[in-house]
Structure 1
């Protein structure tokens, strides 16, 4: 048998299609426990590379003989070496091209639907980080919301669609990943929008994104309406697009709600979070389709690979929207929190323009799962 590479895009297809796959992860145990390739029908085995340097004989009995085995490591090299040993033993083996670093950076567009007057709405799914970003297209213009730092995917897609990106927006100052919004605006000559209450200390110019702002995209009058919705951050702002879609940023997810502590203000912002979820969103049409900026588990993916659900369904099924007692709500969102995202303070400083790490450091800062939700 010969060892074959598997591209992150191929692995993404398997995850979305809920295919079976056996993954041998040869990173250290702590790295594997912290963050791994997620798939609802994936099986896992974790054996550190250093335990396999002298051969794979000791694990052969634990590996399937009738399934393709994908070997995964941090950057690729270790998985190639282990994969070659397994292939020499006659197993059907692939390795993840580029390793977990490449998996973390893979982005793929999913069409949400055509909009009322001829526009289109796309969700860009970053499976390795659980990040979701959006592009609205109308006429010859486009707007991008919550862009990731890999801006080429957006510019290439815009070129393919023959549109110009005139607006980029962040729903809030991100702390779990580096925003590509400002860089994308500079590349395209567009306007970068940011909530001013999240912009204290930023070192660059931006257009203030405030409650009631209407941003028009293209000739077909697709309106993006800003709705101030604090709680994850003090400036968190949601968008209602085309009267049909509610982009909630990191305030509301499909299976959870946003955490209020990434700027160290959990006790101060918890009431803002409750007001947004239990009052401001309640005033909106419950037929709006919620499109969040993150998801937590692959179970939240729909069959087409998108992450979306009706607001009315979330008010029935999302536990974070059904905690009647305020004291219990406060306890839930201040005490029931996962660890802080890796390098979250440095990521915030990068997104404020206070530091400018090189591309390799940016990759290292983002390694790991997203941790924006209350458990």
Structure 2
């Protein structure tokens, strides 16, 4: 809705399309510098500057001096109010083509963009849900009117609505591991739809709720498509991390292997214990799989990992050539790489783990606050 001044909001969905289409955009972020430094909107054709809101209360002149006049301008804050005020001042000062981000960084963090990965052999489809503001990735396999959702995010209404639009009933929700950077929506979605919730048993020793054991030798059928839980018990990020092979073509690696990096083993305080498992999974187990498998991770760390249409995808053989985490031949060097000088741990990761175990039940606002910031599940993320 455009205001009387000509100012209009931009939704997180519209912003996502701009980023994925690599369109030019200039962003003025008016949050505090510390919040901006921790987490910001990124894109290949996005320019961004930070001038805190309180520095613009009396005058927007310093912003006008730094903003190019020929580019689309988006003003961003945490929740919306401050950015709308600043954007209105910029319009009054004569600046045109100005928008503010509707719902602020809160809405950016929670937006999910579904992109089609490909068709399954029986005529079904596989979709990736890109949480572009936080770097999380979920998946939905659909076949013959049934669906399975993998690494479900807490915005479960998005998955329910999408399945409905595809004429599918959600029969299974699966978590590849006990997540530490975001709150899982897998159990909630299963309860809402009557689906079966699957979790690796070695990650579930402290959970307070019933679940089906996601483990080797148990094939999960969705319509006519088998999601094969082959011998891909793949510990390292967590002790229970389990990868999935879908339709003999797609390897869902959870947080073990990303496109430009590898998983970190320290989020349960077990880095020294799990580093050997991580190396064995990456250098032995995955290396023994068909190298033409298409890798689909549960996260991305940088916008450079977003491919055509926003897909985060790569062939396993290409990752063994190009991913630095898969090319550390010396075992001691590998150990140091994944245990020393790691990026900061995710915001409230201990509370998130407790929530995903069912030990605490934060309300919606508390969950949103716990998830603020980037995911930081990878060794090489900066």
Q: TM-score range by the shorter chain?
A: over 0.9
Q: Which runs of 5+ in 1 are unaligned?
A: none
Supply the distance in 2 between the matched residues of 1:205 and 1:148 (Cα, whole angstroms): 19
Supply the distance in 1 between the matched residues of 2:318 and 2:341 (Cα, whole angstroms): 24
Cα offset for 1:196? 0.6
3-state SS of the aligned residue for 2:311? coil
Residue of 67, 72, 78 corresponding to 1:63: 67
Cα offset for 1:212? 2.4
Corresponding position of 2:362: 357
3-state SS of the aligned residue for 2:334? helix
How many aligned positions are there? Answer: 374
Residue of 19, 25, 36 corresponding to 1:21: 25
The 8 Å contact of residues 180 and 346 in structure 2, kept in 1 or not, is answered as: yes
The 8 Å contact of residues 142 and 167 in structure 1, kept in 2 or not, is answered as: yes
Corresponding position of 1:203: 208
Supply the distance in 1 between the matched residues of 2:171 and 2:75 (Cα, whole angstroms): 42
Corresponding position of 2:86: 82
Cα offset for 1:60? 1.7
Supply the distance in 2 between the matched residues of 1:311 and 1:156 (Cα, whole angstroms): 32
Supply the distance in 2 between the matched residues of 1:67 and 1:284 (Cα, whole angstroms): 48
3-state SS of the aligned residue for 1:177? coil
Cα offset for 1:225? 2.3
Supply the distance in 2 between the matched residues of 1:308 and 1:63 (Cα, whole angstroms): 35
Cα offset for 1:63? 1.3
Cα offset for 1:168? 0.3
Describe how 1:150-165 pairs up with structure 2 within 5 A: 150-165=155-170
The 8 Å contact of residues 138 and 222 in structure 1, kept in 2 or not, is answered as: no
CA displacement, residues 4-23 of structure 1 (integer Å, 9 cap, x when unaligned):
10000010001111111100
CA displacement, residues 234-268 of structure 1 (integer Å, 9 cap, x when unaligned):
00000000000000000000000000000000000
Cα offset for 1:333? 0.3
The 8 Å contact of residues 119 and 222 in structure 1, kept in 2 or not, is answered as: no
Supply the distance in 1 between the matched residues of 2:212 and 2:16 (Cα, whole angstroms): 35
CA displacement, residues 315-357 of structure 1 (integer Å, 9 cap, x when unaligned):
0000100100000000000013100100000000000000000
3-state SS of the aligned residue for 2:115? strand
Corresponding position of 1:286: 291
Supply the distance in 1 between the matched residues of 2:157 and 2:227 (Cα, whole angstroms): 25
Corresponding position of 1:348: 353
Cα offset for 1:231? 0.2
3-state SS of the aligned residue for 2:206? coil
Cα offset for 1:289? 0.2
CA displacement, residues 48-99 of structure 1 (integer Å, 9 cap, x when unaligned):
0011111212332211111111000000000000000001112121000000
CA displacement, residues 155-183 of structure 1 (integer Å, 9 cap, x when unaligned):
00111111110100000000000000000
Corresponding position of 1:38: 42
Q: Which runs of 5+ in 2 are unaligned?
A: none
3-state SS of the aligned residue for 1:44? strand
Residue of 201, 211, 215 corresponding to 2:220: 215
The 8 Å contact of residues 73 and 79 in structure 1, kept in 2 or not, is answered as: yes
The 8 Å contact of residues 172 and 249 in structure 1, kept in 2 or not, is answered as: yes
Residue of 102, 108, 119 corresponding to 1:97: 102
3-state SS of the aligned residue for 2:243? strand
Cα offset for 1:2? 1.7
**Are 2:282 and 1:277 equivalent residues in the alignment?**
yes
RMSD (Å) for aligned C-alpha atoms: 0.8
3-state SS of the aligned residue for 2:114? strand
TM-score (norm 2): 0.97
3-state SS of the aligned residue for 2:48? strand
